[in-house]
Amino acid sequence: MSHQPNILLFSTILGLTFLLLDVYVLRRWTLHAKRRSLHPAWYRSLWSISAVMILVFCYVTFRRHFFRLDGLDATLMGFVTLWYLPKIGIALVLLPQDAWRGLTWLFRRGRSDRSAEQQAAAPSPSAPSPTRREFLGTAAWGVSAVPYLMVGRGMWSTLYDFQVVNIDLVMDKLPRAFDGMRIAQLSDVHAGSFPDHTPFQEVRYILETIKPDAIVITGDFVNQKPEEMAVIAREFAKLRAPYGVYASLGNHDHYNTPQEHARLVTTIRDLGAELLINQHKRLGDSSGALIIAGTDNTGFRQSFARLDQALDGVMDDEPVILLAHDPTFWDKQVVPEKRVDVMLSGHTHGGQFGVQVLGFEWSPAQMVYKQWSGLYRNGEQQLYVNRGIGTVGPPLRIGIPPEITLFTLRAPGVGRNMA
């Protein structure tokens, strides 16, 4: 049951990148501070913090796993992230200055036909004056506060700024009796990423406000250990919906021993969710039914899904909503299986970092996943990728808030898709 991706190389490369970035930015700050005749404490203290942060990074990532942190480890990684990540933005401001200095040096060196006295007396007209260089240097360090504000906001504001996304979902085979039914989707809970029960309590309050007819949860209940469920257990047990609470498993739910996995499955079910492990549930009666099916995880080096088993006994004319954690499963196995009308997934977290402006969306997740966030179609079949409510790795979200999706089901000719 291990099936755990080996990310030792990833952690090593990330640590070296952080270290080089830190050395570059702090060296530039040290030169600026000395040029401004600031007290040595202005830069020596930062070098001391830098040494502590790289040690903390190594301690956390190599003692545990970068993507399975919980409790104190997640908190420590939060401080490390706040220290390192903004320096990417700072470096993007400083690098053009250094590039300009390099080009200016090459330009001066190329003018070998002029004497040293002429070069000293008549510097290149394109080179900035000392006063201008000093102004640009000071301005650059002033701008450096912006990345810290962005990361800080992503850790303390956006992180638990749960957004309700409303989707009208037309299903060609949906009986009219289910037209208007509302299903709320949660995904990627990652209970170990929460400092306490409060964030999930807010999720429960939102669900009680929007009053869905059913609740579905598409995997990754924990980062790794079943004990993480204790953080949200009290609130999770209070989830209620007229048609019930249904769930499927994710890749993180398998990052444990067989005994721990069995305990996690038992815990989820004891808390009131109907966990569908390659199974389905038929809602309705002989006059019309809706199938909620769930597969175990396939994807991210795991192959636990048994779609045929999950759909065993489902009729061709019955509408099927499939809960499957990893969106890559859709193209691999779901699209060829014409009985699945809608697949709900998560897994990507929307990248936890991105840009959403005036309808434009971008995230690093797009470079990894063909379907990374939102609604997708292939003929009559549809896939929705939820951004999740928890986090892995750094406990932050920048531009990609956590999501609760509320689907309103529509029968043909009654409603239309507004996504």
Residue-wise pLDDT tens digits, 170-217: 999 999 999 999 999 999 999 999 989 999 999 999 999 999 999 999
Write down the pLDDT at residue 418: 44
pTM: 0.80
**Phi, psi angles (nearest 5°) of residue 394:** -60, 130
pLDDT at residue 5 is higher than 50? no
- Please tell me the predicted confidence (pLDDT) of residue 395: 84
pLDDT at 92: 79
pLDDT on residue 150: 64
pLDDT one-digit tens code per residue, 75-101: 788 788 888 888 887 887 788 878 887
With 0-12 / 13-18 / 19 or more C-beta atoms within 10 angstroms meaning exposed / middle / buried, residue 365 is: buried
User: Of 102-116, 223-237, 262-276, 387-401, which range is least confident?
Assistant: 102-116
Cα separation, 386 vs 220, in Å, equals: 12
pLDDT for the residue 69? 74
Question: Beta strand pairing status for 374-378 and 320-323?
Answer: unpaired
In this structure, the dihedral spanned by the alpha carbons of residues 290, 294, 299 and 302, taken in order and rounded to 10 degrees, is -160
What the block records as the tokens of 189 is 């809970």
pLDDT digits (tens, 9 = 90+) for 106-157: 877 776 555 555 554 455 545 455 555 555 555 556 566 666 666 666 566 7
pLDDT at 222: 97
Classified as helix, coil or strand, 145 is helix
Residue spans per domain, the chain? 8-84, 89-141, 164-410
Domain 164-410 has CATH 3.60.21.10: yes
pLDDT band for position 419 (cuts 50, 70, 90): very low
Q: What is the pLDDT of residue 2?
A: 44
Residue 191 pLDDT: 95
Mean model confidence pLDDT for the chain: 86
| pLDDT band (50, 70, 90) for residue 3 | very low
The identity of residue 411, as a single letter, is A
What does the pLDDT look like over 297-313, one tens digit per residue?
Answer: 999 889 999 999 999 99
Distance CA 339, CA 223 (A): 32
**Average of per-residue pLDDT across 391-418:** 84
H-type helices in 85-221, by residue range? 86-110, 116-121, 130-143, 145-156, 198-210
Residue 361, pLDDT score: 81
Query: Which pLDDT belongs to residue 264?
Result: 98
Residue ranges of E strands in 148-261 = 163-170, 182-186, 214-218, 245-248
Q: Is 240 exposed, middle or buried (0-12, 13-18, 19+ CB in 10 A)?
A: middle
